[in-house]
Structure 1
């Protein structure tokens, strides 16, 4: 190999290797700083694209989880209120049966009727206030006429889980309508044994209807809770999958950094040695 003051091939090669090592160190340091081996599309376009799609699904599942949490809260409020209504109906039965006693006087009947109507009003108050975030399953969704509320079940928003209305409001003065759970009207009374007997039949039917409605609501609430748990597990699995694709192995990166730092030092020394070659020319001309 010729010796020239214009071209120092060993120095050029040493410089190329040193620059390559410096680039690798910069890449490893970026992995360590971000915790990602693939942070941008430039690192690996195909894997980055797959990871971004999975991140989009994870974000969508977050919205699904929020929707299901809202559904669960609405169901819990409705079941709590429904159980209260059931307890109040049990109290009503005591008053109605007592009013069927032909031996009681007018004052006692009036007192029973007053307590009966007070409990009826309480039932109305419970159903009117059994709302969460504006949704009330026990009074016909606040009069909107809807028969159910649908909640997101998947990230594509193509599947839903439903909570059905369980209208436990009192029947109007015109009597119970279709699908009315509580068949007693707002104007029911215990004015006589005959009227009390008719009210008892309505009350027994109402108690049965309310218990069935609570059973249906409980089944739907259980389905929502189960699906919410599944969505949570699915989100965790997808996050782990994205991590497998793009997360850096920091133990491996640490080892690589140390090795590259040694190479960097050796490369600098090799470049220094190569740069001394032209000095040999001076020796030839002494």
Structure 2
């Protein structure tokens, strides 16, 4: 049925044209912005997901910045530790020279003192962004390490961050001290006796280790007729158990740094014993110490059922007011101006070199950990950006082809509307 009041063909053609125009506007917007989903009206679900992903990408960028700072801090610490190791090697060369009796030991000592001052200078200046990894004499809990933001972890709708912890390793030469009064003193907190059983393990793993806690190794040998060893040489205390006063005066002591473990205490007491044995010309076949994990392994080649040596590890809490020394504190004790001092110095420098080498290697390992994590975070950020592009970005080839097709459809729709609008004109011929 034809009507001059209602033109169904024109209405249909107009609706089609409007729809095509809307699609053209949407396609042109995608071409101009480059995005298929630019705001919530395009696709609210995809837009919400993409906003979350953008927030995570921004978070990973901050993580990358944090890791870059951490890497620079570790690099400075490692280079400082390596330089100190080289200076200690130079000091060892001077100490070896001092073993000769016909050299000017006073001049050699002056050279050692100058190198020690240089080490102190490096220790105090090897910092980055306010962080000095070569100093650790603060007794505050937690001061012995720094935390570096390493990652952000998303679980459902919640997000958490994770850190990487790195330990400071003191390379200073300041002296430590153990208080003769105060605190809680425990004699023989861990103990072992050499008799016919000539090797004993003293396990330190059960001991509490906190910044400022003091530890000492004391010996009490029993050989009444001095048949296997000279009894007095292997007694560091008047009676079997060392007193706090004796501990304060002992050369076989160590004050813990923050972050130290029982293994670190064992290594420090081992170094102290090596220096003590060298200084007092003690035979390590009679008594020797080595470290195994968190334990001291003591051994003797001469003890038996009656000739025995008891070794005690004694403890004193930080409340006593102990002073934490530098990791290279025995460097300040080196004195090659005498034969005895030169001999002791040779043992001391070996322990110091080992400590410095371990510290430099540890800093290198820490730097490697940060580098690995930095690469991982970079890959995660790249993957998120790629996924975000898959969600949001328009396929420009497909969009361009669709625009051309819609423009052709638009032209056809305009033509169809024109034809539909001309149809009522034909009705007039019926009334002529």
TM-score (norm 2): 0.61
Unpaired segments ≥5 residues, structure 1: none
Q: Is the 8 A contact 1:79 1:217 kept in 2?
A: yes
* 1:224-250 superposed Cα distances (whole Å, 9 cap, x missing partner): 111111111111111111111221111
Q: Is the 8 A contact 1:67 1:151 kept in 2?
A: yes
2:240 corresponds to 1:237? no
1:255 alignment partner in structure 2 = 401
1:101 alignment partner in structure 2 = 100
* Cα distance in 2 for residues equivalent to 1:78 and 1:261: 66
* Cα distance in 1 for residues equivalent to 2:138 and 2:160: 26
Which one is further off, 82-91 or 39-48? 39-48
Matched position secondary structure for 2:128: coil
Query: CA shift at 1:186, angstroms?
Result: 4.1
Query: CA shift at 1:177, angstroms?
Result: 4.2
- RMSD in angstroms over aligned alpha carbons? 2.2
Query: CA shift at 1:185, angstroms?
Result: 4.5
* Cα distance in 1 for residues equivalent to 2:330 and 2:137: 20
Query: CA shift at 1:26, angstroms?
Result: 0.6
1:2 alignment partner in structure 2 = 2
Q: Is the 8 A contact 2:150 2:164 kept in 1?
A: yes
Query: CA shift at 1:142, angstroms?
Result: 8.8
2:134 alignment partner in structure 1 = 138
2:151 corresponds to 1:148? no
* Cα distance in 1 for residues equivalent to 2:407 and 2:332: 85
TM-score (norm 1): 0.91
- Aligned pairs, number: 282
Matched position secondary structure for 2:151: coil
Distance 1:249 1:229, change over 3 A: same
Query: CA shift at 1:198, angstroms?
Result: 2.6
Match of 2:344 among 198, 203, 224: 198
2:356 alignment partner in structure 1 = 210
Distance 1:95 1:133, change over 3 A: same
Higher strand share: 2
* Cα distance in 2 for residues equivalent to 1:19 and 1:144: 74
Distance 1:73 1:157, change over 3 A: farther
Query: CA shift at 1:144, angstroms?
Result: 7.3
Q: Give the 5 Å matches for 1:50-89.
A: 50-89=49-88
Q: Is the 8 A contact 1:130 1:138 kept in 2?
A: yes
